[in-house]
Chains A and B, each alone.
Chain A
């Protein structure tokens, strides 16, 4: 199973959702399908995509938040599973593409390569009720549909091949992605009747 194929399969469902993706190949493959202002690409700080997802989901109950994680990143922040289990954001879908490899940094084997470490079992052990492992594209698609329909925290560990795109590059600087993503998130929130708190510099003299 290829991650790019999985992303292509779910793209029509996630292109209007808030999506936080990890760095490297996963970010690029999503971008190559077509950037949306509701996509945030975490190109560093490995492990924190799911934490950003929690911060978003917690404060935006009207949104479905999708986190696209990887085995290498998830292994750097295993505590996130316990934190997610504790707060159980019902509107968060946490997808972990497990390619058993630190692909973006040279393809070294990750701890999940030999099939010893099971991230879905870790998630379940942390207290996340809906955590499944899939190895086929069809199974991935079914797990994704179930997760999107479920009003509960869902984790999907998708076992994929360690392959990525040939060409990397995005047409914006990293802070620009953050600025535009924030604007998009806040506009969507404002549409629910929410009023943003005053910004520094927006009142009084400079």
Chain B
């Protein structure tokens, strides 16, 4: 299994096509090629954080500044960011467009990811965070644009789940 070069490119191009100019992220395997593109792109400001909850604050700052922003994280990073999501974003009606790599689900060979993968959707539902799965590289750009639009119109966190089908070859 390798991370999909073509589909990482499709996701990054989708982010760009949605008008996003600012990205916060914590590197993870599935996001590696994506982040490399972000780092090399002079029109995108990439801010890497030490822990995903920081990115909730960075995203809020970017939103206040008027800068279109998405957050890239692994599902386990989403767990670590939860209080920021609830007590900053949801409490103050601040939109978040989160692209979350969902490790530990169908086809997962690594035991350490599995517990997180099993509970991810339940936690998203518990937090009333609307989510969709991104599986098809042909559809992902539209899904990113829609996720961003919905986060802004609902002033709410929104999650697009990047699946194994999309991120691995």
Q: Give the B-binding residues of A (Cβ under 8 A).
A: 40, 42-45, 47-60, 77, 79-80, 82-83, 86-87, 174-175, 177-179, 181-182, 185-186, 189, 194, 196-197, 199-201
A-B contact pairs, 29 of them (CB 8 A): A44-B87, A45-B83, A45-B87, A47-B53, A48-B54, A48-B84, A51-B49, A51-B55, A52-B61, A54-B47, A54-B58, A55-B57, A55-B60, A55-B69, A58-B47, A58-B65, A59-B61, A79-B49, A79-B50, A79-B51, A83-B47, A83-B48, A83-B50, A175-B91, A177-B92, A178-B64, A178-B93, A179-B93, A182-B66
What chain A residues lie within 8 Å of B91 (beta carbons)? 43-45, 174-175
Interface of B is mostly: helix
What chain B residues lie within 8 Å of A199 (beta carbons)? 152
Q: Give the A-binding residues of B (Cβ under 8 A).
A: 19, 22, 24, 45, 47-51, 53-69, 83-84, 86-88, 91-94, 149-150, 152-153
Asked if A80 and B50 sit within 8 Å, CB to CB, the answer is yes
What chain B residues lie within 8 Å of A54 (beta carbons)? 47, 57-58, 61
Asked if A52 and B50 sit within 8 Å, CB to CB, the answer is no
Candidates A52, A178, A181; contact of B57 at CB < 8 Å:
A52
Interface of A is mostly: helix
Asked if B56 and A51 sit within 8 Å, CB to CB, the answer is yes
Considering the chains assembled together, what is the distance between the CA atoms of A79 and B61 in angstroms?
A: 17
